Amino acid sequence: MDSVLIVSNGVGEDTIGVAVASRLRGVAAVEAFPLVGLGGAYADIPLLDPRRELPSGGFALRGGLTALLPDLRAGGLGFWRRQREALRARAGRDRAVVVVGDVYALWMAAPARAPIVLVATAKSEFNEPHRAVEIRLMRRHAAVVFTRDERTAEALRRRDLDARFAGSPQADVIPEPVGALPLPPGAPVVLLLPGSRADARRNMALLLRLSLRVSEQEPAVFVVGLPPSLEVARVVREAAAARWSIDGSFLRSPSAAVLLTRDFGSALRRATVVVGLAGTASEQAAALGTPIVAFAPPGAVQYTPAFMRLQQRLLGDALVAASDWERAAEATVRLLRDPTERARRGAVGRERVGPPGAVPAIAAEVRRHLR
């Protein structure tokens, strides 16, 4: 059976890689190489090594020296070199390579010497057009590029690339609900997304403060979409230290109730407003037509001011960017009180992210390279 390798460089990218792999089972032997983190999303798919968690959580190249230096001190340079050597050792083995992420991941995968299908999730003409050096690398190494919107596909085609928009891969991988959440019927729900990187714990503390501020002005139930990297026991322990009471899966104060859940699919579909310090998860909220409020926490690794600006350009009016958590609380209250504004911003989000459909098209393109 032909072999296909999936290379991804992020938590959201891993999820897209899994979705592509699921459509290739039975026609190819699929392995994966998550360049960032341990790749837990891949479950029973065989994984290449080396893999490890680095301090930046994969944001070393985008976060500047603040994010890069801790990775270098942790042995990042040698680690990245070993990853590239592992990919070089794949030369001639795979019929196709699927790269999900940015052009760095494409460059890393190039030594595998197989036709590369690039799923370019990192950039869009809306927020950050590809630079000339990235265009050159795509021309050299990518057989086809699947973009996150038609505007970007058109821009790349003008640069002589085989670029296609077949739908949003982020929308394709929105999880299905696991079950009904224990929430009051019809209650407005604020979904809190702390992100999936190393600063998620610190973000949680700010989001809990925001929930208190919002609940003082507008009745709502709060739900935290916990990423796999955030341990429930630790969240509960730190909330208790901040004088929250623990009631099963809820954190409670005199004015606020906050449900902790890993059922992101159910939480996302119940959300009235999202307060998101996340990448893919916030974009998935926009895909479902839910407005997002965001702020850049001090000392953030992932959700820096620069990241927030890029995400706002990507999502347009679907995202309300606030200067700090207090202003974010005010914006959340305004949206809870104004259904017309929520609907307007939600429509923008659905348009910017686009419909599902990319994953089946990507899998079909890979199958074209198989015997």
pLDDT digit string (tens) for 64-88?
A: 556 677 777 777 888 999 999 999 9
| H/E element, 311 | helix 305-315
Kindly report, residue by residue over 220-268, the tens digit of the pLDDT. 999 999 988 888 999 999 999 999 999 999 999 999 999 999 999 999 9
**Same domain membership, residue 331 and residue 316:** yes
Q: Indicate whether 275 belongs to any domain.
A: yes
**Same domain membership, residue 194 and residue 153:** no
DSSP string across 120-177: E-S--TTT-PPPHHHHHHHHHHEEEEE-SSHHHHHHHHTTT--EE--S-HHHHTPPPP
**Same domain membership, residue 326 and residue 207:** yes
Q: Indicate whether 174 belongs to any domain.
A: no
* Share in percent of the chain as helix, strand, coil (round to 5): 45, 20, 35
**Same domain membership, residue 273 and residue 249:** yes
Confirm if 275 and 332 have CB atoms less than 8 A apart: yes
Q: Cα 329–258–306 angle (5° rounding)?
A: 40
Q: Which two tokens stand for residue 244?
A: 């929250």
| Contact residues for 354 (Cβ-Cβ < 8 A; gap 6+) | 148, 149, 150, 165, 167, 168, 171, 287
Q: Indicate whether 79 belongs to any domain.
A: yes
**Same domain membership, residue 210 and residue 132:** no
Q: Indicate whether 181 belongs to any domain.
A: no
The CA dihedral of 145, 148, 154, 159, to the nearest 10 degrees, is: -40
Per the structure, the count of domains in the chain is: 2
**Same domain membership, residue 241 and residue 101:** no
Q: Indicate whether 287 belongs to any domain.
A: yes
**Same domain membership, residue 299 and residue 226:** yes
Start-to-end CA span in the chain (Å): 9
Q: Which domain holds residue 298?
A: 189-353
**Same domain membership, residue 360 and residue 297:** no
Averaged in consecutive runs of 10 residues, what is the pLDDT profile of the chain (371 residues)? 94 94 94 93 94 70 63 82 95 96 96 97 94 97 97 97 97 94 94 87 94 96 92 92 94 95 96 96 97 94 91 97 98 98 98 96 96 74
What 3-state class would DSSP assign to 54?
A: coil
**Same domain membership, residue 244 and residue 338:** yes
Q: Which two tokens stand for residue 204?
A: 């949680």
Q: Indicate whether 182 belongs to any domain.
A: no
Peptide bond into 360 cis (omega under 30): no
**Same domain membership, residue 225 and residue 122:** no
Q: Indicate whether 261 belongs to any domain.
A: yes
**Same domain membership, residue 201 and residue 126:** no
pLDDT at 214: 98
**Same domain membership, residue 309 and residue 160:** no
